[in-house]
Amino acid sequence: MHASVTCGPTIACAILRAVNQHLLPTLRLLGGDAFRSGEEVAHRLGVTRATVWNVMQEAQQLGVSVEKVRGQGYRLPHPPAWLDADEVAAALGPCAARFQVEILGEVTSTNTVMLERVAAGAASGLVVAAELQTGGRGRRGRLWLSGLGGALTFTLLWRFDQGPASLSGLSLVVGLACAKALAARGVQGVGVKWPNDLLCDGRKLGGILIELQGDALGPSAVVIGIGFNVRLPADIPAIVDQPVVDMAGTGGSEDRNALLAAVLSELAAGIDAFQTGGFAALADEFDRWHVLRDRDIVVSLPDGTSIEGRVTGTAPDGALLVDTASGPRRFHGGEVSVRAMAGAPKAPRDA
């Protein structure tokens, strides 16, 4: 399915299995307006026509739209911009020297792959992006579904000299960078929902999952997983538990290579500012993009209780500041869940 959305762990998803090894090479041949016959595709890949037919069936099961015309063959009516490291580097320009971009076909999770690279001593600035995730992870044990060509899912490794306790607010810095990059790519009304969601007019466009490793006093390795919906299938609302939207539905560009480059450029600038002045240096700018600012919300706590209040801002350490009936409260990400009490979150103010 073309999706990069979260759902409860009890939902059965056909994508959570290994795909045919010929799937990606076959689909890469079907871009453009021209049809390719099963015979031509089989010849190009060195497989049988039966294999090609099986691949087409599997592609459709995964939510890929494949057009078939008798006597002409197959084509993709909406071919994705396949991920390409050279195209990303070209779009990054001078900033390309700060990143090493690696494109993979199928992975369980780009965060899982990156954690393995961290253990092997990978350098700061490594980026792992995948065409297909079969077991992506979100916050609080939720699945993160990402489909073939319909999402941009990637993970960035950044190494810090300080310990994890000194990195409070980093997820908000990442969210801010993502929102700015999305806006630059034509997405209207995009903003950040504390602590790690990207929303467009109240609907989820993307999300962030950060995992930290390191000693108390440093250094730290931070694994930053990011996913965006690029083109969702029409039936996706039936299997998720929240309103969702994709780049195609926001007027934004669907060029995933250009989007990846834009996000990495904003991340480089944001992380530089964070390393110099912490989240406090970016708190005011974050508040301008925060869709829950000045909104009445419900905070769900790990023990099952909830608290109502109004968001007044974010603290220099990234904590959410909320006025409640019992007085001002501070909340940190962790296992806390936050939602607006009524209506869609407002659009961010002019940045």
CATH number, domain 4-75, options 3.40.50.300, 3.30.70.100, 2.40.30.10, 1.10.10.10: 1.10.10.10
Q: What is the mean pLDDT of residues 279-289?
A: 96
Residue 139 known to be catalytic = yes
Q: Which residue is catalytic, options 98, 288, 310, 339?
A: 339
The dotted CATH code for 292-340 is 2.30.30.100
Residue 204 known to be catalytic = yes
Instruction: Provide CB contacts within 8 A for 155, sequence distance 6+.
Output: 110, 111, 113, 114, 127, 128, 129, 223, 224, 225, 226
Question: 85-287 belongs to which CATH class?
Answer: alpha beta
Residue 293 known to be catalytic = no
Give pLDDT tens digits for 45-69.
999 999 999 989 888 777 678 899 9
Strands (E) located in 215-277: 220-229
Cα–Cα distance between 231 and 246 in angstroms, integer? 5
User: Which pTM value belongs to this model?
Assistant: 0.84
Q: What is the mean pLDDT of residues 142-163?
A: 81
| Surface-to-core class of residue 307, CB atoms within 10 Å of its CB (0-12 exposed, 13-18 middle, 19+ buried) | middle
Q: Which residue is catalytic, options 36, 75, 117, 204?
A: 204
Average pLDDT over all residues of the chain: 86
DSSP state of 22: T
Q: Which residue is catalytic, options 117, 137, 139, 231?
A: 139
Q: Is 112 helix (H, G, I), strand (E, B) or coil?
A: helix
CATH 3.30.930.10 in the chain: give the residue spans.
Answer: 85-287
Is the pLDDT score of 340 beyond 60? yes
Give pLDDT tens digits for 210-262.
999 999 888 999 999 999 999 887 666 666 778 899 998 898 888 999 999 99
According to the model, what pLDDT value does residue 65 have? 80
E strand or H helix at 214: strand 203-214
Identify any residues that bridge with 68 across adjacent strands, giving them in sequence order. Answer: 74
350 vs 216 pLDDT, higher one: 216
Q: Is 103 helix (H, G, I), strand (E, B) or coil?
A: strand
Checking DSSP bridges between strand 296-300 and strand 320-324, what pairing results, if any? unpaired
Is the pLDDT score of 8 beyond 70? no
Cα–Cα distance between 190 and 105 in angstroms, integer? 29
Cα–Cα distance between 181 and 264 in angstroms, integer? 9
Q: What is the mean pLDDT of residues 299-313?
A: 94
Cα–Cα distance between 27 and 10 in angstroms, integer? 30
| Surface-to-core class of residue 228, CB atoms within 10 Å of its CB (0-12 exposed, 13-18 middle, 19+ buried) | buried
